[in-house]
Structure 1
Amino acid sequence: MSQGSSEGKVDPAEALLAWLRDSGRSLGFSQIGVADVDLRHAEPGLLAWLEAGFHGQMHYMQAHGLKRARPSELVPGTLRVITARMDYLPRSTPEGWQAVEWRRLSEPQQAAVSVYARGRDYHKVLRSRLQKLAEQLAQKLGPLGHRAFTDSAPVLEVELAQRSGLGWRGKHTLTLAREAGSMFFLGEIFVDVPLPLTAPVSAHCGQCEACIGACPTGAIVAPYRLDARRCISYLTIEHEGPIPVEMRPLMGNRIYGCDDCQLICPWNKYAQRASVADFDARPALQAPSLAPLWQWDEATFLRHTEGSAIRRIGHERWQRNLAVAMGNALALADDPGLRSALAASLPQASPLLAEHITWALAQTAR
């Protein structure tokens, strides 16, 4: 072989990316990418979304303004963003899981909790593993400035995931991947070293608008445009006050989050099971019914939701959501047990909860 031949040489950039992917996989991540920090083309869409008020009560989104689209302003010195995907379907998820979830939604006495929230809080799981990946990178390259995020700061996660090749933005606004659907979490590490970039992938939604038609409340107001104020995930988790009366009948038995736009998506036939035990469904949330959940006092709620994303909404909002679901069940078929349980809780209920209980008790089967 001549001295000038490139045969047998390893590209340092490709070798570093391969190391990052292997290291990420050993920590439970399914995919790793690297994005640039220039997100200027995303700024007009972000501003239009905020100006329309689609963020609802999530005031932190407006407070940070364009920092969301400017990683180097959010964390000064940032040159690249490492993006990570972690699949979250519980390991015991059966084949045909989407049909199982649709059946749950059709049974008004059952309680529907979003799949992602049935196990350990993903913030805790991803953050610690992202931090370990950053520490391993520092050991390999030398000291580096870094900061890890997972849905915990004003970061344009989907935009970064798209730019780094983890997937494309679906019409429901979530990231979609050909080999994994959308049932995964995203995380990022902002770093101050010029890591090699990974290429974006093309979009594959085509003419499909199944997610738009499946949304129970019409929250996907146009392709790639979500009005959070109508989204059941927002209403049951982020919204602090009374749930708008006109939204309540549309919520069905969904008490924490909503998966409808993901259940209907054809790409989710490729959704992957989690590689970590953290996302296995807790027994109390695996196939819950409304009546037993209503009996949880605050101490029981805190015990069952310890280390869970659900705990952040608190017992009062948990019961608020349950009251709506119980009212929707009563609107389909009168149940003396549900009705008496609601009535028994009314005298000691807070004003917020009492308003929802009163509404629920007023629902009658037609």
Structure 2
Amino acid sequence: MDTNSKTVYFTIDFHLVAREKPLLYNIYINSSTVKGKDHYVKIVRPGEILNDGDIEGFKKYQRIHVLESERGLYLKSLAEDDNIESIDKVSVIKDSAVKHLDDIFNPGKEFNTEILGEALDGCHDSMKAMVDVIKDYDINSLKKLIGDLSFHDFYTYDHSINVSMYSVLIYKQLKPNASEADLVAIGLGGLLHDLGKTKISTEILNKTGNLTDEEFAEIKKHPEIGVELFREANPEFPGLKKETIEKVIVEHHENIDGSGYPKGIKGEDHHIFSKVVSIADFFDAITTKRSYSQALPIEDALEIMKRTVGKKIDSDIFDFFVKKVSKVLLTGKTMIELPVDFNTEVAHAKLPVQKVQPKKLGENFTKASDNPNKITK
């Protein structure tokens, strides 16, 4: 048996171990009975085939572990196992992604290019497994799945993961023949779109009151900071076009009409990944409950988003998105909207919804349409 007391391990659940097929990873137990003095012993090697009886026998050890360096292999095995429920798979994959995001964003942890690179590699492994699990979902089932998953203390983690999942499905349904590599790339774009926030003060990021002009100017730096960090880490991401991920990081706050930041570029110059992620970002920001803000019903959320079409978000992709959210008929009766300067990245004590501002009378003195953005059948 092999022993190793210096390497990092993580714990896995007994019922989430692969059965009846060759194992991809090593399994260890901690044989030490002295607190603080771990002694890991390898009990299963890659290639071995386990059955229910084997797994039941492992329970005498109380816990089983996998090398942190083999987390990607564990996630791959988990994602491909037809005997495990999707919610269990996604929950484990999400927790792994949270672990890597915490390595990136937690201000209490050491941060350097090497650590960032390792975390990005971990995000890549997590997203490959996530795509494998959710790629055949529809948007409605994903919305329910997200609602069933546990939430974490730091909103950015959950939000980034949700955005990545929505982005994968919107793009998959928009482009049914999309390659696995493109789905993973757009998922990583969604997962890492806020990478630059690691260099923004947490006091600004968590402030729920109105930001000063100086504070908002700091917030607006995070897309370009994110690209710089990504390029410095220079992750390998075999088979992926890293430039498409960079596009998402730097463009996710660009608006279709050119009023966004950091460059103020117009929609025709936005990468399609960026357009998709912007919609996923907006949708999750107003439909997922945060610790400090209630979520909007889907119909209200989509009506609010509709009012920004042609200004913030792409009309064709949004219309396609609406059609894929079944059992929602937008009637145009939801007369609320968000301020034109609403930013999905800024904390709010509650979502700043407001009544739709009335249109001015036209030159012919006829009343303007109550809802010019109403979606018709």
TM-score scaled to structure 1, two decimals? 0.29
User: Which structure carries more relative contact order (alpha carbon 8 Å, separation 6+)?
Assistant: 1
